[in-house]
Structure 1
Amino acid sequence: MTDFLIKSSLSLGVLLITYYLFLEKEKMHQFNRFYLLFCLLFSFAIPFITIKIIQEIPHQETIPTIIPIEGVSSIPIIEDSTNYWLIAAWSLYGIITFILLFRFVLNIWKLNAKTKSNPVIEYKEAKLVLVKEKTLPYTFMNYIFINETDYNERKIEDELYTHELIHVNQKHILDILFIEMLKVIFWFNPLFIFYKKAIQLNHEFLADEKVVKSHNNVPFYQNLLLSKANANPTYYLASNLNYSVTKKRLIMMTKTASKSRAFLKKGILIPLLTALVFSLCTKIVAQETPQKEGKNIYVNGEAYYKKTTFEIKDEKGKVVAKKKYSDLTAKQKKLAPPLIIRSDNDKPLSEKEIIEKTEKEEPKTFIIDEFDPKNIKTKQQDPNTIYNTAGLTENPEYPGGMENFYKFVGENYTRPKTPEEVKLAGKVYITFIIEADGNLSDFKVLRDIGYGTGEEAVRVLKLSPKWTPGTINDEPVRTLYSLPIAIQPKA
């Protein structure tokens, strides 16, 4: 809900400012009418539009992952207790919304009751409702409400009838009812007040334009409006003759339309809408880099070295030990070359085929020389080089092991507050660098599930104590680390 309100409000605000700066002063009132309605619909749709941008991350085989097992999240997330402030806020919202809805329905009922309790006369495409109270003409649906005495004594000018008929024929009331319903639901958002004012003023521009064309007497019509300007409007749902009799309306009656200028200003909307969509709807999605398929398949691991003997050399190049794969140190295992299994064609091999070929092609002896210059990788390397865990002799480790790390995250991670109807579940992907001194830096959220889940994960990681850094041949190096955090819905 928060994401919806933020994105829709940003869109509403930008589009409304654009209207006031570029469109309102142009004599293209029909376009402006539909632009304002489009702004409302577009802004409500934009939170539901998602444009995914794929960002590839290294294949995760050698990077620790956190996977939920048997319905339990690997990292325990602290459950929320009852939030009474949230309950109070929703209760207040419900009360105010009900009051505004009641007022809205009551006004419609009153206007409808007037059409049944007063004389009604057919007049062109509309119906005149003759009311007893002194009032200026105003329109609701296809009814024009006028004072009965003024009508009988013919004190209502033809220009006023023309003005109100435009409201009837162009169904302006539908726009007003639509924006009023939005104001009832989103009463806390002041932008809808400005949208209603812009819509109603544009309706008056449309009606004034028709009157000027039909009667061709601008000074008389302007004086007529000014003479009626002080009367109070009767109903906020109706189209009132004297709505906003301001300098804007009077100037617009004499303004000349410029097609080229209007066309250019309409053209501004295309890059504007594009920018809004990409700024509010793009989402970076982490995706592992796919492994390349080819003729060579590289296999490594204890399961495939059962028959292999590893000869260990010392600094002088002399063989000082013979070991099985399971007896090798982590550093020595990193130096064990991978077995290369060749397929007969370009098709990838099945696991069974790989094992069969491994048994046939597995070499009997491997030599491991930790002191060979080609195995000492970091002596002349730039200290700012960042390594992947696949290239390390020893992987970085949290103090006390990963179990302690999971416990640390679970104790410090606060599950984001969400509405009851939101079932928050998914994975948050984060990368960060474990520096050579064990500190964490350069946090990046590649993907989250909204509601601040990514930001909260980064906050927790910043609290982490120093790690044991990754090493290459006993030399600490900077290591890129990827961490998926699984968040499951509340039980």
Structure 2
Amino acid sequence: MTDFLIKSTMALSVLLGTYYLLLEKEKFHQFNRFFLLASLVISFVIPFVTIEIIQEVASAANNNSVVPEQITTNIVEQKTSVYLIFAWIFYGIVTAVLFFRFGRNLYKLIKKTKSGIKRPYQNVTLVLLKEQTLPYTFLNTIFINEEEYQKNKIETELFTHELIHVNQKHSLDILLIEIIKTIFWFNPIFIFYKKAIQLNHEFLADEKVVKSHNNVSFYQNLLLSKANQSPVYYLASNLNYSITKKRLIMMTTTTSPSRGFFKKTILLPLLTGLVYFLCTKTVAQETKTKATVNKETTKKQSKYDSYYDKTTFKIKDDKGTVVAEKKYKDLTPAEQKAVPNVFEGVKFPATKEDVDAKLEKGGPDTIEIDLYDPKNQKVKGPEGTIYKTANLTENPSYPEGIEQFYKFVGQNFKVPVTPAGVKLKGRVYITFMIEKDGALTDFKMLRDIGYGTGDEAIRVLKLCQNWIPGKINGEPVATMYSLPITIQSPD
């Protein structure tokens, strides 16, 4: 909800600001009416639109191993704050009061329509009222003073003005913005939207009057003579709405086609930029082929773990002399990285039978590990270089192992509050820097599953202890690291 409100308010502000700067003073009022209404629609749709920009990230897995796809954190569900409950109760009470007010005013207009004397006029209905009032319009009805009507004291220009409100269905615009204001009463920007919409309605009606009667000065004086009377209903279109300098000036304003076209054209890159800023999201995509966790995958994983059980690794020194013999589990991280790929020599693309046969056979009796062989050496870049794991001789690692790291995340991760019935499930991708001293810095969220899960994951990572840094030829270096964290809220 917070994300929706922030994005929609930003869109509303930008679009309304654009209207005031570029469009309000120009004489293409029908276009402006469409722009204002479309701005409301666009601002409510934008928060639900996501345009993903794919960024490939290296898998967190060791290059020579297959890691199960799902490592699910045992997350702790966060209880709903009592303040949040009170906030929703307060919102509900205020909204109910405002809807009651809205319904009461609507009822008054409908009641007035039925109780007054009705007269047909062109394609609308005139309702004659005993009360002293300026003409005003609601839906297909124009309300006027009975005495002035009977004595023909209502100028033709005023009828023309109100007919435009009826024929162009301006009341529907007012009803729409009032309903939105009632629901989002806490957002003051809709007050400005209503003022802009109503003033644009008056521009439209004034323009039609001027074209029909061709007497600008008389009409301006007529409006000024009525300027002391206040509008009666906020749901109605009123002749006397905002008799300001803007309306009087607009009657004599002209907009050249070239300037109008230029200003309308500017809107396209502006809308494109708005969508890009609010809707684009960088998401991670692992460069490795993902495998589904099932019994078959688990079986292959078990075979892989035991692949080197019978293999003896002979470790050479810088002179090429064998100085030690080890089993796979006793190898250092740098030595493990120098171990040949399990599937080395298997034809590509490998069939299921080829993979099964390779794993079933097991590793060779002996393998020589020469860390000083040029192929196992990496070239260290200049000071300040940030490395990827593929360029290291030793990958960074969590001191107690990756399983303990996920356990740490699971114990500290608090599930954000979600609407009733919504279960969080999916992957959060975070990139971060592992400095030379093992400290985690420069956290960036590439992908989350909404409701603040990415921010929560970053918060937990900031609590994490230092890692064992990545190394090149035994020397610690700064490493860019990416890690997927699978989130699944408890059933």
Structure-2 change in CA distance of 1:111 and 1:5 (3 Å): same
Matches within 5 A, 1:252-271: 252-271=250-269
The whole-number CA distance in structure 1 between the counterparts of 2:14 and 2:125 is: 40
The CA deviation string for residues 419-458 of structure 1, in whole angstroms up to 9 with x for no partner, is 4454333221112222221112222211112333222322
Asked whether 1:286 is paired with 2:278, we answer no
Structure 1 position 261, deviation (Å): 1.1
Q: Give CA deviations for 1:200-222 in whole Å, capped at 9, x if unaligned.
A: 11111111111111111111111
Aligned position for 1:158: 156
2:68, 2:82 → 1: CA distance?
33
Bigger mean CA deviation after superposition, 5-14 or 327-336: 327-336
Contact 1:310 1:323 in 2 (8 A): yes
What is the CA deviation profile of residues 112-148 of structure 1, one whole-angstrom value per residue up to 9, with x for unaligned ones?
Answer: 1112212101111111111111111111111111111
The answer for the alignment partner of 1:207 in structure 2 is 205
Residues in 2 aligned to 1:357 and 1:37: alpha-carbon distance in whole angstroms = 66
SS of the residue corresponding to residue 479 of structure 2 reads strand
Aligned length in residues: 476
**Structure 1 segment 338-357 matched on structure 2, within 5 A:** 338=341, 340-343=344-347, 348-356=349-357
After superposition, the Cα gap between the structure-2 partners of 1:409 and 1:333, relative to the gap in structure 1 and judged at 3 Å, is: closer
C-alpha deviation, 1:87, in angstroms: 1.2
Query: CA-to-partner distance for each residue in 1:217-252, whole Å, 9 max, x for gaps?
Result: 111111111111111211111111111111111111
| Of 452-461 and 166-175, the range deviating more from structure 2 | 452-461
Deviation at 1:333, TM superposition (A): 3.2
Contact 1:341 1:358 in 2 (8 A): no
1:353-401 deviation per Cα after TM superposition (whole angstroms, max 9, x unaligned): 13436889976654333444654546x6545444444565544333444
| 8 Å Cα contact 2:439-2:465 kept in structure 1 | yes
What is the CA–CA distance in structure 1 between the aligned matches of 2:411 and 2:312, rounded to whole Å?
A: 46
TM-score by length of 1: 0.88
CA distance in 1 between counterparts of 2:346 and 2:198 reads: 76
Q: Which moved more, 1:76-85 or 1:417-426?
A: 417-426
Query: Residue 358 and residue 11 in structure 1: after superposition, are their counterparts in 2 closer, same or farther (change >3 A)?
Result: closer
Alignment of 1:18-33 (within 5 A): 18-33=18-33
Unaligned segments of structure 1, at least 5 residues? 293-299
1:466 alignment partner in structure 2: 466
In structure 2, the partner of 1:369 is: 370
- CA gap of 1:352–1:390, structure 2 versus 1, over 3 A, is farther
> Which SS does the other structure have where 2:251 is aligned?
helix
Quick one: distance in 2 between partners of 1:188 and 1:61?
Answer: 48
Name 2:52's counterpart in structure 1: 52
Deviations 1:327-363 (A, max 9, x none): 65544333233363253xx6x2123213436889976
Question: Contact 1:8–1:46 at 8 Å: present in 2 too?
Answer: yes
Kindly indicate whether residue 337 of structure 2 is the aligned counterpart of residue 334 of structure 1.
yes
Residue 66 of structure 1 contacts residue 485 of structure 1 at CA under 8 Å; is this kept in 2? no
| One-letter code aligned to 1:463 | L
Take 1:373 and 1:266, find their aligned partners in 2: how far apart are those partners? 63
Q: What is the match of residue 481 of structure 1?
A: 481
Please identify, of 334-343 and 93-102, the stretch whose mean Cα deviation from structure 2 is larger.
334-343
| Kept after mapping to 2: 8 A contact 1:435/1:477 | yes
Secondary structure of 1:340's aligned partner: coil
Runs of 5+ unmatched residues, structure 2: 291-302
Q: Would you say 1:87 and 2:90 are equivalent positions?
A: no
In the TM superposition, 1:235-254 aligns within 5 A as 235-254=233-252
Moved more, 13-22 or 354-363: 354-363
Output aligned runs, 1:448-459, within 5 Å. 448-459=448-459
State the distance in 2 between where 1:315 and 1:140 align. Answer: 93
C-alpha distance in structure 2 between counterparts of 1:440 and 1:163, whole Å: 68
2:442 maps to amino acid: D
Q: SS of the counterpart of 1:207?
A: helix
C-alpha deviation, 1:477, in angstroms? 3.0
SS in 1 for 2:449: coil
Which residue does the alignment assign to 1:196? 194
Aligned to 1:62: 62
Query: Equivalents in 2 of 1:203, 1:92: separation in Å?
Result: 35
What is residue 8 of structure 2 aligned with on the other side? 8
Q: After superposition, give the CA deviation of every residue in 1:77-96 in whole Å (9 maximum; x if it has no partner).
A: 33223422111111111111
Q: Deviations over 1:265-292 (max 9, x none)?
A: 1111111111111110001110012569
> Could you tell me which amino acid in structure 2 is paired with residue 132 of structure 1?
K
SS at match of 2:345: strand
Following TM superposition, by how much is the alpha carbon of 1:62 offset from its aligned partner in structure 2, in angstroms? 1.7
Q: Could you tell me how far 1:110 is from its partner in structure 2? A: 1.2
Q: Mean Cα displacement is larger for which, 57-66 or 229-238?
A: 57-66
Q: d(CA) in 2 for partners of 1:357 and 1:463?
A: 42
Rounded to whole Å, the distance in 1 between the matches of 2:315 and 2:83 is 67
User: Could you tell me how far apart the structure 2 residues matched to 1:228 and 1:209 are?
Assistant: 18
- AA aligned opposite 1:480: M
Residue type matched to 1:50 in 2? T
Q: Decide whether the 8 Å contact of 1:445 with 1:454 is kept in 2.
A: yes
For residue 304 of structure 1, report the CA deviation from its aligned partner.
4.8
Query: CA shift at 1:473, angstroms?
Result: 4.7
Using structure 2 for the length normalisation, give the TM-score: 0.88
* Matched-pair identity in %: 64
